[in-house]
Amino acid sequence: MKVAIKIKGTEYQLPEEANANQWSLISLLPSDRKHTIQTILDCSKMDLITLTEEEILQIYEFAMIPLKGLQEHGEPAITLQALEGLTFGQWCDADAMAHIDANVYIADIIEVITGKEAFEMPLSVAIPTLKLYLQWRQGVYEQYRGLFGLDDYDEGEEEGAAPDINRIWYNAIMLLADDNFSNVDIVTEKPYKAALNYMAYKKEKTQKEIEELKKIQKK
């Protein structure tokens, strides 16, 4: 059954359920009711300036109906087994976007990890897919605590500028590629776990060498 609302003489169809792309757009300005209305009703040119706050609120509540997918979750579009099969390139791309803003990049992240177009994916599928990925990603971070420096964080230390996560992963790729651009595709097609294992090994080896040097210097 189609549901519509008439605003200033123009009828706007209400989608049965919002999709990943709409959620991404809403996440850019989550507290802007007018932006949410225009995104859900697909009416970016709608003039809402002359409407009262009460009218805006009524339309907003109507427009929120398609966001039911936030509560009514279906099956994720990917499995844990499939996530374990990601390449290092997929890991880097998805992790960089999740680090910046997982909600804003929800469709892009899902496309990277599933290899399928996700902009039109219903929220009832997109949300659980993103949640499963984020839970799995956190597990990977815990598994490689030493590599990611999770134990090096000092609560009393002032936070500096946010790290450029894209540059960090690009540097990691180039490190594994021996600074040879022709090796980049070879590196990014490797299993993510193989790449992280090697990076963890190299970091641990370097740290041990530094400790040995310190011991020699103290003699």
The pLDDT tens digits along the chain (219 residues) read 466 777 767 777 788 888 999 999 999 998 888 888 888 887 655 666 677 788 888 888 888 888 876 676 789 999 999 999 999 999 999 999 999 999 999 999 999 999 999 999 999 999 999 999 999 999 999 999 999 887 775 555 555 566 789 999 999 999 999 999 999 999 999 999 999 999 999 999 988 888 887 777 765
pLDDT value of residue 69: 63
3-state per-residue secondary structure call for 88-139:
HHHHHHHHHHHHHHCCCCHHHHHHHHHCCCCCCCEHHHHHHHHHHHHHHHHH
Nearest to 92 by CA among 203, 191, 207: 191
pLDDT at 57: 86
Measure the CA–CA gap between 86 and 82, rounded to whole angstroms. Answer: 7
216 vs 219: CA distance, rounded Å:
5
Asked if 192 and 90 count as a contact pair (C-beta separation under 8 A), the reply is: yes
CA distances in angstroms from 158 to 5, 99, 163, listed in the order given:
50, 20, 14
- How many other β-carbons are positioned within 10 Å of the β-carbon of residue 69? 22
Contacts 24+ apart (CB under 8 A), 160-163: none
b/e per residue 165-194 (b: at least 16 CB within 10 A): eeeebeebbeebbeeeeeeeeebbebebbe
What is the four-CA torsion angle of 110, 100, 131, 124, rounded to 10 degrees? -60
